[in-house]
Amino acid sequence: MSDQSASNGRISHGSLMVADPRTKKRNASEARFRAYGIIAISIGVLFLASLAFSILRSGLPAFTQYVAELEVTLSQEDYDAAESKMLKTAAYTDIFIQNFSDALDERGVEVAYDSDAIERILGKVGGDIRGHYRENLDDIGRPVTFQLQTSSRVEGYFKGRVDRESLVDSRFLVKTDLDIIDALTEADILTSRFNWAFIKGTDAGVDNPGGAGIGAAAIGSFFMMLVVLLLSLPIGVAASIYLEEFAPQNKFTDIVEVNISNLAAVPSIVFGILGLSVFIQFMHMPQSAPLVGGLVLTLMTLPTIIISTRASLKAVPPSIRDAALGIGASKMQSVFHHVLPLAMPGILTGTIIGLAQALGESAPLLLIGMVGFVAREFPDGVVSGFLDPNSAMPAQIYTWAARADAGFYEKAWGGIIVLLAFLLTMNIIAIILRRRFERRW
C-alpha cells in the first residue's frame, strides 16, 4: 500500500526540525512586512509629534498676555480739572505718569522715561483711563487698579520676536524703551497673565494684534455646526434608510447612488460658489451669516453622512431583519426597532467625521463672506447668532495668518489650538455616545 502511494507521487516532507527553503522565504517576507508596518507607524507618529510640537510652540504664546498693573487714585478735583481742559486725554496721561513715577519711587526703581515712551509701551493710556472713569463715576476718589495691555512690539520683546541687537528705532519702539521695560518687569509692574481676551474676544483691527480674540468666530462656528447637525443628520439618515431599505433597485436609484459618491469627492470650494450663487444671490439670504455657512457645509457633509450610514446599515446582519419580519413586524418596524439601533454607532461615527470636516472647512466660508475681519462683535441672541455677519474659526485663522504683523501669526497658531480643542471635544463626545449605543449580536 505504502509503496503504491509513494509511486503515486507523494512528496517527501523531510525533517520538521529544519525549515525548508519555502518556509524560510515565507517567514522572511512576513518579517519584512512587519518591519514595513512598524516603519510606517513610526513615520506617522513622528509627523504627528512634530506637528503637535510646532503647533504648541507657536501657538501657546498667544494664550499669554503682558500687562502693566498700576494703582491710580483719582480725586474729584483731578477729574473736574482734567475734564475742563482742552486736551482731556493728555491730562489723564499726565495723571497716570504722576502715579506711575510715584509707584516707581516707592519700589526704588530709577529709569528715565517720557510720555512718548509710555505711549509706545502701553498705548494711549490717557484714553483708557478717561474711558474707565467716565463709565464708572463711583470709582472717583477710590484706588483703582488698572491693567494696561502692552503694545504688540513690547509683547514681541517678551516673546522673543524682537531683540535688542536687531531693533531699529522707530516710532513704535526705540532701544531705550527696552531699558524701561526691563526696569518695569524688575519692579513687577509689567507682568504676564493668561490671555482670556484671546478666547473671549473678537477680531481686532490690523494694527492691534494684541486685542484680537477668537471668541466671536468660535460662536460663529458653533451656530454653523448647529445648523449642520440639525439639517444633515435627519436628512442624511432618512435618505440612507430609504435608499438602503426601501428604495427599489432601478436605474434611477443607481444614478442617485453614484452621484452621492461623486458629491463626496467634490472640492469644498465648489460648494462655496454654489452657496454664494444660490443662497445669497438667488435666495437673497444675508451675507456672512452662519445660517448660510451652515447650509453650505450641510451640502458638503450630507454625502459623508449618507455613505457612512448606508455602510453601517448594510453591516447589520440580515438575520435580524428576517427575525423581525418573521414575527410579523412591518418593514418600518423592523428598521426602526432593530436595524437602526444596531447601526447607531456607525451612524454617529460618520456624523462626527462629517461635522469635524465641516468645522475645519474655510474655503467655502470665504466665498460666502464669512471672512475673519467680519467677526467684530458678538451676536445679541440666538436669532442674531444665526443671521448676523460672523466668521468661523478656520476662516478667522486664515485671515490672521494672512496679516502682516507677527502678533497675528502667533494668534493664528493659537486659533489652531482652540480649533483642535473643539475637534477633540467633539470626538470624545462621539466616543462616549458610541460606547453607549454599542451592542453585541
Determine, following the binding rule CB under 8 A, whether residue 439 of this chain makes contact with other proteins: yes
Nearest distance in Å: CB 318, other proteins: 9
The interface region with other proteins, picked from 51-59, 95-103, 318-326, 349-357 by CB under 8 A, is 318-326
Residue type, 392: A
Q: Draw the binding track, 244-273, toward other proteins (x: CB under 8 A; -: no contact).
A: ----xx------------------------
The answer to whether 363 and 272 are in contact (CB under 8 A) is yes
- In the complex with other proteins, the residue whose CB is nearer, 17 or 327, is 327
Q: Which of residues 5-64 bind other proteins (CB under 8 A)?
A: none
Query: At 331, which amino acid appears?
Result: K
Of 241 and 324, nearer to other proteins (C-beta) is: 324
Query: Considering the complex, what minimum distance in angstroms separates the CB of residue 342 from other proteins?
Result: 7
For other proteins, the closer of residues 147 and 330 by Cβ is 330
Stretch that binds other proteins, among 36-44, 213-221, 302-310, 315-323 (CB under 8 A): 315-323
Alpha helices in 88-158 (DSSP H): 88-107, 115-122, 125-135, 152-158
Give me the least distance between CB of 305 and other proteins, in Å please. Answer: 24
Give the nearer residue to other proteins in terms of CB position, either 321 or 434.
321
CB atoms < 10 A from the CB of 277, how many?
12
Q: Is 324 in the site for other proteins (CB under 8 A)?
A: yes
By beta-carbon proximity to other proteins, the closer residue of 278 and 329 is 329
* Sign of the dihedral through C-alpha 193, 199, 202, 203: positive
CA atoms of 287 and 32, how far apart (whole Å): 57
Nearer to other proteins, 22 or 439 (CB): 439
List 20, 116, 322, 377, residue binding other proteins (CB under 8 A): 322
Please select the residue that binds other proteins; options are 329, 353, 423, 426, rule is CB under 8 A. 329
Residue by residue, DSSP assigns 251-312 as HHHHHHHHHHHHHHTS-HHHHHHHHIIIIIIIT-PPTT-HHHHHHHHHHHHHHHHHHHHHHH
Strand order in the sheet with 143-149: 143-149, 64-73, 190-194
CA 332 to chain centre: 40
β-strand partners of 149? 67
Provide the grid cell at 411: 494668534
Say how many residues make up the chain.
Answer: 441
- Name which position in 196, 326, 431, 436 contacts other proteins (CB under 8 A): 326
In sequence order, what are the residues at sequence separation of 6 or more whose Cβ sits closer than 8 angstroms to the Cβ of residue 276? 367, 368
Q: Is 230 helix (H, G, I), strand (E, B) or coil?
A: helix
Closer residue to other proteins, CB minimum distance, 259 or 330? 330
440 scored as a contact of other proteins (CB under 8 A):
yes
Task: Provide the 10 A C-beta neighbour count for residue 138.
Answer: 8
Tell me, by CB under 8 A, how many residues bind other proteins: 22
Contacting other proteins (CB under 8 A), which of 55, 278, 325, 401?
325
Q: Please, which residue, 108 or 318, has the CB nearer to other proteins?
A: 318
Q: For other proteins, give the closer residue by CB, 101 or 333.
A: 333
Site string for other proteins, 330-359 (x = CB under 8 A): x--x---xx---x-----------------
Does position 319 interact with other proteins (CB under 8 A)? The reply is yes
Best CA proximity match to 219, nearest among 392, 420, 424: 392
Question: Where along the sequence are the contacts to other proteins (CB under 8 A)?
Answer: 248-249, 317, 319-330, 333, 337-338, 342, 439-441
